[in-house]
A and B are shown apart, each in its own frame.
Chain A
Amino acid sequence: GAVVSQHPSWVICKSGTSVKIECRSLDFQATTMFWYRQFPKQSLMLMATSNEGSKATYEQGVEKDKFLINHASLTLSTLTVTSAHPEDSSFYICSARVRQGAGGYTFGSGTRLTVV
Chain B
Amino acid sequence: GNSVTQMEGPVTLSEEAFLTINCTYTATGYPSLFWYVQYPGEGLQLLLKATKADDKGSNKGFEATYRKETTSFHLEKGSVQVSDSAVYFCALDDNTDKLIFGTGTRLQVFP
Chain A residues engaging chain B, CB cutoff 8 angstroms: 6, 32, 34, 41-44, 46, 49, 93, 95, 97, 104-110, 112
Kindly state the separation between the CA atoms of A105 and B42 in the bound complex, as whole angstroms.
16
Cβ of A42 and Cβ of B103 under 8 Å apart? yes
Could you list some 14 contacts between A and B, CB below 8 A?
Answer: A34-B98, A34-B99, A42-B103, A43-B102, A43-B104, A46-B99, A49-B97, A49-B98, A95-B44, A95-B99, A104-B34, A104-B49, A104-B93, A107-B43
CB distance from B8 to the nearest CB of A (A): 11
Q: Which of B58-111 contact A (CB under 8 A)?
A: 89, 93, 97-99, 101-104, 106
CB distance from B7 to the nearest CB of A (A): 13
Query: Which label, helix, strand, loop or mixed, suits the secondary structure of the B interface?
Result: strand
Cβ of A44 and Cβ of B98 under 8 Å apart? no
Cβ of A107 and Cβ of B45 under 8 Å apart? yes
| CB contact under 8 A between A110 and B43, given known A43-B89, A43-B104, A44-B89 | yes
> Looking across the interface, which residue of chain B has its beta carbon closest to that of A45?
B101
Kindly state the separation between the CA atoms of A42 and B87 in the bound complex, as whole angstroms.
10
Does B41 make an interface contact (CB < 8 A)?
yes
